[in-house]
Amino acid sequence: MKHLSIDIETYSDNDIVKGGVFKYVDTPNFEVLLFAYSVDFGDVHIIDLANGETLPEEIIEALIDESVIKHAYNAMFEITCLNKAGYPTPAEQWRCTMLHGLYLGYPAGLAALGKALQLPEDKKKLATGKALIRYFCIPCKPTRSNGQRTRNLPMHDPGKWRLFKEYCVQDVVTEMEDYKRLSAFPVPDFVQKQWVTDYELNARGIAIDTDLVDGALTIDDEEKAELTEKAVKITGLDNPNSRNQLLNWLNAETNLDLDSLTKASVAEALDTADDTAREVLDIRSKLSKSSVTKYKAIVSAMCSDNRVRGLLQFYGANRSGRWAGRLVQVQNLPRNYIEPLDVARDRVKARDRLGLSILYGDVSDTLSQLIRTAFVAPKGYTLVVTDFSAIEARVIAWLSGETWRQEVFANGGDIYCASASAMFHVPVVKHGINGHLRQKGKVAELALGYQGGANALIAMGALKMGLSEEELPEIVAKWREASPHIRNLWYACEDAALRAVRTAEIVSLQHGITFRKECDPKYGLTFLTVELPSGRKLYYPEPHLKINKFDREAIHYKGLNTGRWCMLSTYGGKLVENITQAIARDCLAEALERLAKEGYRLLMHIHDEVVIEVLTKDLAEKGLDHVNKVMCQTPAWAEGLLLNADGFTSPYYMKD
C-alpha cells in the first residue's frame, strides 16, 4: 500500500460552523459513523462504524505508517476526528486535496472544485449530502412524531442510511478524481511542510480569559438594554432596533431624509442631524456595534480547556497564498487605544459597567477595544508578539530595485517622509521641517504601489485625511515620477504575462520571477504561472487574451469574485500586488518554520504579526531580541531583502 484515500462521516452535538473542528470533537458525544477508503486509488470500501463494523487491521496500521500517504479533502477534519476517535494518525503523513486545489487557484469546497475541474457526472460529489448530514450528523429537535428523541440513528431511517453510505463513498471517488487531475501540478514539499506547521499551530490554540469574556457579554447585555430603553423613550417606537421603524421615524420626526441606516449613511447624517436625531443615531450606532459579537464567537469556539483553536485557514487567500481568518476572525480585530488597559480589563471582569463608563466613556467602544486582550498567556507563560515592519514596502523596493527606498530601510528611516521628500524634492521630517507633507507621502505609499490612481487614494482615505480631490492627480504623478523602478515593474510584469500566454514563451524577470504557460493535455488544464523567488508558484487557471473594459488586450483567467467562480482580468499593477504580497507571505511562512524549529509555541499570526507562547522563566534566557532575530532573518532566496521585526511581551494580546 502506497496511498490511502479517506472520507469519514461523523456525529457531534457541537456546531462545527460556529466552533470549528477542534470544538466539534471536544464532546463525549462525538463519534465517527462511516469510514470510506480506497487503497492505491482502487475500488472504494466503506466501514459502517455506527452499526458495529470495525476498521480492518491493515487500515489502522496504515494510518500510522509513514510509508503510506493518506489523502482527504480538507484533511484537517479527518486528522482531527480520527485522532479524537482513537485512530492515531500524524498530520505530516497526510496530503490535503483542498490545499492542492487552493494552491492551483481553484475554489474551496469539494463540489466547487469538481465543478471548476469539470468532472464527469459519475465522479461529481452527490447533491444529497446536506440533507443527510442534517439528519444523521447533528442533534434533531424532539417532537411527538419522533418519540421526543434528540438524535437520528441509522435504524430510524435505513433508506436514508443507505444513501448516506453511498454519499460517503462518492466523496472518496470525487476526491481521487480531483487529485488525479491536479497531480500534474504538485504542491511543493516546503509548502506541504508549512501546512503541517499550520495544523500544529491551529491544534495548539490560544488561551482565553473567560472572566473577561463573561464580563464583557454581561456588561454588553446591560448596556444594550439601557440604550434600547432610552431609544424607546425618545422615539416612542415599539422596537427602535427595527431598521424600518427607526428609518421611518427619523424621516418623519427629524430634519433628516435617509434612504438607509448603513454605517456610512449614519456617519454622514450626523453632520446635519439636530440634537434629537444625533442622539438617536448615536444610540443606533452603539446598538449595532458588531465587533462585540466576537466575544460570542470566542465562546462558541472555545474548547473545554478554555483555548480557542482553528483560527487560521492555510492558503485561505489563494491568489497570494496568504492565510485567512476563521471563527473569531482575528485578522480584523479592533485596535486598542484606551489607557490603561489593565484597569479597563479589571472593570470588565468585575462586571462594573458604571465604573467602565465613568473611566472610559463609550462602554460599547471600550468593550470592542478589549477583544484582543481576551487572548492571554496561561499561568507560567508570557505572550511574545512580534511583527515585520513595512514588509510590503520593503518587498516591492527590493523586487523593483528602487534603491533609494532600500536605503531608507537600511538606515532606519521613515518611508512616508522619504516618499514625500522624493515626491516634492524637499526635506520632510515628521513633526519637523515640511512635516505637513508626510501625510501626502503616507497616503501615496498606501495607495499607489500597485498602479492605483486618484480613486485608489480616495479609497485609502485621502479626502478624510484633509487632501482635496483636485490635488490627487498631482500626487499620483509625483509618486510615479519618484518611483520609476516600481512603475517599470508594473509594465514588465504585464508584458511578461502577455508574452507567456500569447506565445508560451518563458519570461524571467529580476530575482527569478518567471512567467510560464503550463498545460496538462490529458485533462485539458491550462495555467499562467508565476514562479516566485522561494520556488512557490502563483496559478491563474484558464488564461487567455481578451480586450478588457479599457479597450486594451489583457490577461483573463478563471477565479473567485465574491464567492462566484467566473472570468476575471488582471494587469501589471495587480500582478505586482499578487507577487509582492505572495513574497511577503513566504517571508512570514519561513519565519514561522524557523520559530517552530527553535522550539517556540506558535499560537496565531495576524497579517505580518506572530503571537507565540513562552515560558516566563525562559524569557530571561533567550528574550524578545532572540525572537525578533529569528523572525527577521533574510531567507536564502531573498538576498538583499532588508527585513526588520519588532515586538513586545505581554500577559495578554494587544496592539502595542
Kindly list the domain boundaries of the chain, sorted by start residue: 3-183, 205-374, 403-482
- pLDDT over threshold 80, residue 579: yes
Q: How many CB atoms lie within 10 A of CB 145?
A: 6
Q: In this model, does residue 628 exceed pLDDT 90?
A: yes
Contacts of 361 by beta carbon, 8 Å cutoff, 6+ apart: none
Compute the residue count for the chain: 656
Report CA-CA distances (Å) from 391 to 3, 183, 280, 542, 643. Answer: 40, 33, 43, 31, 7
Closest by CA to 208, choosing from 337, 370, 15, is 370
Q: Read off the C-alpha cell for 63.
A: 494510518
| Residue environment code for 112-134, b if the CB has 16+ CB neighbours within 10 A, otherwise e | bbbebbebeeebbbbeebeebbe
Pairwise CA distance, residues 643 & 584, whole Å: 10
pLDDT tens for each residue of 396-416? 999 999 999 999 999 999 898
Q: Are 515 and 506 in contact (CB under 8 A)?
A: yes
* One-letter-per-residue 3-state SS of 432-486: CCCHHHHHHHHHHHHHHCCCCCHHHHHHCCCCCCCCCHHHHHHHHHHHHHHCHHH
Region of poorest pLDDT, from 1-10, 45-54, 561-570: 561-570
Q: Which of 254-258, 385-389, 488-492 has the lowest mean pLDDT?
A: 254-258
Q: Which band of pLDDT confidence, cut at 50, 70 and 90, is reported for residue 264?
A: confident
Between 62-66, 238-242, 607-611, 628-632, the lowest mean confidence (pLDDT) is in: 238-242
- Predicted local confidence at residue 253, as pLDDT: 83
Confidence (pTM): 0.93
Grid cell listed for 348: 470588565
Q: From CA 232, how far away is CA 520, in angstroms rounded? A: 65
CB atoms within 10 A of CB 491: 14
In the predicted structure, residue 620 carries a pLDDT above the cut 80: no
- Please answer whether residues 653 and 392 qualify as being in contact, where contact means their C-beta atoms are separated by less than 8 angstroms: no
Instruction: Say yes or no to pLDDT of 12 above 90.
Output: yes
pLDDT, mean of residues 633-655: 95
Indicate the SS3 state at residue 29. Answer: coil
Q: Is the pLDDT of residue 291 over 70?
A: no
User: For 226-240, what is the mean pLDDT?
Assistant: 89
Position 256 pLDDT exceeds 90:
no
Find out whether the peptide bond into 340 is cis, omega within 30 degrees of 0.
yes
Instruction: List C-alpha distances in Å: 41 to 9, 68, 69, 116, 119.
Output: 20, 13, 12, 22, 16
Confidence class for position 109, pLDDT limits 50, 70, 90: very high
The Cα-based distances of 84 to 10, 28, 78, 141, 198 in angstroms read 11, 10, 10, 26, 19
What string of H, E and C letters represents the secondary structure of 296-363?
Answer: HHHHHHECCCCEECCCEEEEEECCCCEEEECCCCHHHCCCCCCCCHHHHHHHHHCCCHHHHHHHHCCH
**Residue 204 pLDDT exceeds 70:** yes
255 has pLDDT over 80: no
Instruction: Give residue-wise pLDDT tens across range 582-599.
Output: 999 999 999 999 999 999
Q: How far apart, in whole angstroms, are the C-alpha atoms of residue 303 and residue 19?
A: 9
pLDDT the model gives residue 15: 97
Grid cell for residue 191: 509548502
Q: Is the pLDDT of residue 621 over 80?
A: no
End-to-end distance of the chain based on CA atoms, in angstroms? 52
What's the grid cell of residue 185?
501540478
Q: 20-45: per-residue pLDDT in tens?
A: 999 999 999 999 999 999 999 999 99
CATH class of 3-183: alpha beta
Please state, in angstroms and rounded to a whole number, the distance separating the CA atoms of residues 542 and 554: 14
Tell me the pLDDT band of 267, cut-offs 50, 70 and 90.
Answer: confident
Q: Residue 653: what residue type? A: Y
The sheet that has 375-376: what strands, in order across it?
Answer: 307-308, 206-208, 375-376
Nearest to 319 by CA among 494, 540, 544: 540
Interhelix angle for 415-424 vs 472-482, to 10°?
A: 100
Give dist(CA 387, CA 205) in Å, integer: 19
When pLDDT is cut at 50, 70 and 90, the band that residue 549 belongs to is confident
Mean pLDDT over all residues of the chain? Answer: 93
